[in-house]
Amino acid sequence: MKDVEHTSVLIVGGGLVGLSMSLFLSDLGISNTLVERRGGTSTHPRARGVNVRTMEILRALGFEQRIRATESASALVENQGIIAARSLVGDQIGELNGQYLAQTDQDGWSGISTTTWALCDQDELEPLLVRRARALGARICFNTELTSARSTGGAGLDATIHDRDSDHVRTVRADYMIAADGARSPIRQRLEIPMEGPGTLGHFRNIYFHADLSKALGDRRFIMCYLMQEDFRGALLPIDNHRRWLLHVPFAPDSETSRPRFDQEECARLVRKATGLDDLEVEIRSVLPWESASRTATQWRKGPIFLVGDAAHQMPPSGAFGSNTGIQDAHNLAWKLAAVLRGEAGAGLLDTYEEERRPVSLFTAEQAVLRSKDRGRTTGKDGVESQIVNDADVILGYRYRSSAIIPDPSLDDGAPWSSAAEPTGLPGTRAAHLDSPDEDVPSPLDAFGREFTLVVGSGGRAWERAASTITSHGERLRVLRPASDREVAAQFRARYGVKDDGAVLVRPDGFVGWRAPTLTDSPETDLVDALARITHRTVDPGTSDDE
């Protein structure tokens, strides 16, 4: 077979989620090739809210300062929230319900995270991801498409790749393939995996334009302005609060009589209508149609192929959950693929990707739908009343339940989420931030990302010795003892649910996999057992599969 190349993971789709997947795998030393039909990264500003959990992940990779440097000039701290108005020059109708405004309260995250939201548009973030992934060894190919894929008869697959620039066709042999190819995912359709959920909620055109609105706005700032006129509805979003703007306009694609034209002239007319400025000079940069919908794939894995991001789930943009959920899908899957490919985990670990991420997607999509309906409660098809959950709890409080989590059933209330402000350290929850009064003492959150971490208290010497013995056999395990400061020690006990001689085993993705509230009789044996159970191994850490 001619022109056959090998990669551990083939990623199809080069949007935010696919590029994040490439970065995460590259950071873990896993070879990967990404193919994307587009000629380059996005030129349209969208998916602009990078939430706190995603920022924690990117911060651990050293990305925070790069994102802050390119963060949109309409930074969250400068905005006044979400408002409703007849037009920019008309009367303001009022400020919308505070549930949407949680993300603007940057100080509210200081006790529960190391970072805050960022406004970094997709056209700003994607190039950062490309540069870093390539620097780490990823092969990222734009203007290139997957034309076919077939099983090799073993564990992997052969994919036919078409370079549209050169018209060259080659075969890539991969151990695994990631479908990050969007909401209409051709890969998902070929696999005949159905979607379920409420379905389409609306159709919109996203009009990206340049215009000077500084005079009309004065010193007013907002994250989003809903424009409500008798014959017009839309939403205006600032990119830089000066010249760069987005206008969302609903339309009915199935009705020929009500379908508006979206040529340059018509888009400029809509911008003037929205702003109330009839003589405004407008430059239309691009127009992007999109569908607001809530759907989730019924299956997220088929053999060596995994669905991530919009290929696995769609949700309305309310709450800015969509792309963030997709990036977190990739983060969950990347360390598991790396562990299996390195021979450090059993293949069963990969089944926990769907076990963990699909319930999170369903819960998050439900919350996005509730927010899109602009009311706090709705009644589901089973008659059970659903309620909007605090933004912080949706973003940081979701809970995993899978065979890669060793539960503590005596303390498990069965809820799909918990309080982000009052973490308990239960297995399956995100490991908690510890807020030291010493600015030079890092949070445990900054230590997670590449290997398992054993977090121990001030009385954890026996756990440290056990971990040292295990790592001498080649186990990837680091030990972290929070600062000895009394306040931090008290936080550790409360937020991790252990005593000073207890220990918490945190997975590479920053989620608690197991904990021992106090010192056990056999810390080394218990730690070895916990690692083996989480990683689906049946051999001792110091014994190779060949022995």
Whether residue 35 is contained in a domain is answered as: yes
Q: Which domain holds residue 201?
A: 197-293
Q: How far apart are CA 365 and CA 293, in angstroms?
A: 9
Q: How far apart are CA 367 and CA 104, in angstroms?
A: 18
- Average pLDDT estimate for 160-186: 96
If you average pLDDT over each of 240-244, 277-281, 427-431, which comes out highest?
Answer: 427-431
Same domain, 334 and 464: no
Same domain, 283 and 203: yes
Which of 20-34, 156-170, 380-394, 469-483 is the least confident region? 380-394
Measure the CA dihedral 363/367/370/371, to 10°: -170
Give the pTM: 0.88
Q: How far apart are CA 275 and CA 361, in angstroms?
A: 36
For residue 229, pLDDT beyond 80: yes
- Residue 323: count of CB within 10 angstroms of its CB: 25
For residue 547, pLDDT beyond 50: no
What separation in angstroms does the CA of 151 have from each of 34, 155, 272, 546? Answer: 19, 8, 54, 26
Counting Cα atoms < 13 Å in the Cβ hemisphere of 360 gives: 33
What separation in angstroms does the CA of 132 have from each of 18, 69, 137, 138, 340? Answer: 14, 15, 9, 9, 24
Q: How far apart are CA 226 and CA 247, in angstroms?
A: 10
pLDDT at 96: 44
Strand-pair category, 32-36 with 4-12: parallel
pLDDT at 496: 95
Whether residue 541 is contained in a domain is answered as: no
pLDDT at 411: 66
pLDDT at 478: 94
Whether residue 91 is contained in a domain is answered as: no
545 pLDDT band, cuts 50/70/90, is: very low
Same domain, 149 and 8: yes
* Contact status, residue 349 vs residue 333, Cβ threshold 8 Å: no
Looking at the 3D structure of the chain, how many domains does it have?
3
pLDDT at 519: 96
Backbone angles phi, psi at 443, to 5 degrees: -75, 150
Burial call 414-425: b when 16+ CB within 10 Å, e when fewer: eebbbebeebeb
Whether residue 410 is contained in a domain is answered as: no
Q: How far apart are CA 280 and CA 297, in angstroms?
A: 44
For residue 95, pLDDT beyond 70: no
380 pLDDT band, cuts 50/70/90, is: very low
Which of 23-27, 36-40, 393-397, 415-419 is the least confident region? 415-419
Sign of CA dihedral 115, 121, 126, 127: negative
* Contact status, residue 122 vs residue 48, Cβ threshold 8 Å: yes
The H helix count followed by the E strand count for the chain is 13, 24
For residue 473, pLDDT beyond 70: yes
Same domain, 236 and 186: no
pLDDT at 543: 42
pLDDT tens track for 212-224: 988 888 777 777 7
Q: Six-digit token pair at 467?
A: 């971990």
**CATH number of the domain where residue 245 is located:** 3.30.9.10
Question: Alpha-carbon Rg of the chain, whole angstroms?
Answer: 24
For residue 383, pLDDT beyond 60: no
**CATH number of the domain where residue 527 is located:** 3.40.30.120
Under DSSP, the state recorded for 98 is G
Same domain, 243 and 319: no
Reduce the DSSP state of residue 530 to 3 states and report it. helix
Domain boundary among 232, 265, 293: 293
Domain boundary among 367, 393, 417: 367
Q: What is the mean pLDDT of the chain?
A: 86
Triad 218, 271, 89: Cα angle to 5°: 35
Same domain, 121 and 167: yes
**DSSP secondary structure, 134-145, as one string:** HHTT-EEEESEE
Same domain, 261 and 319: no
Same domain, 288 and 302: no
Q: How far apart are CA 123 and CA 15, in angstroms?
A: 10
- Average pLDDT estimate for 135-139: 97
Same domain, 31 and 148: yes
**CATH number of the domain where residue 317 is located:** 3.50.50.60
Same domain, 145 and 202: no
Going by C-alpha positions, the residue among 108, 130, 96 that lies closest to residue 20 is 130
Same domain, 361 and 484: no
235 pLDDT band, cuts 50/70/90, is: confident
Same domain, 310 and 187: yes
For residue 509, pLDDT beyond 50: yes
Whether residue 500 is contained in a domain is answered as: yes
Q: List, edge to edge, every strand of the sheet that includes 452-456.
A: 477-480, 452-456, 503-506, 512-516
Q: How far apart are CA 288 and CA 38, in angstroms?
A: 14
Whether residue 222 is contained in a domain is answered as: yes
Counting Cα atoms < 13 Å in the Cβ hemisphere of 335 gives: 21
Which of 142-146, 239-243, 467-471 is the least confident region? 239-243
Domain boundary among 293, 311, 337: 293
505 pLDDT band, cuts 50/70/90, is: very high
pLDDT tens track for 348-377: 999 999 999 999 999 999 999 988 775 434
pLDDT at 499: 94
> For a pLDDT cut of 90, what percent of the chain falls above it?
57
For residue 176, pLDDT beyond 60: yes
447 pLDDT band, cuts 50/70/90, is: confident
pLDDT at 449: 85
- Residue 134: count of CB within 10 angstroms of its CB: 15
pLDDT at 152: 81
pLDDT at 386: 62
pLDDT at 79: 47
What separation in angstroms does the CA of 153 have from each of 9, 158, 351, 481? Answer: 17, 10, 20, 47
pLDDT tens track for 101-128: 334 445 567 789 999 888 888 888 999 9
Q: Six-digit token pair at 235?
A: 């939403």
Whether residue 389 is contained in a domain is answered as: no
470 pLDDT band, cuts 50/70/90, is: very high
Q: How far apart are CA 229 and CA 37, in angstroms?
A: 39
Whether residue 403 is contained in a domain is answered as: no
Q: How far apart are CA 388 and CA 406, in angstroms?
A: 29
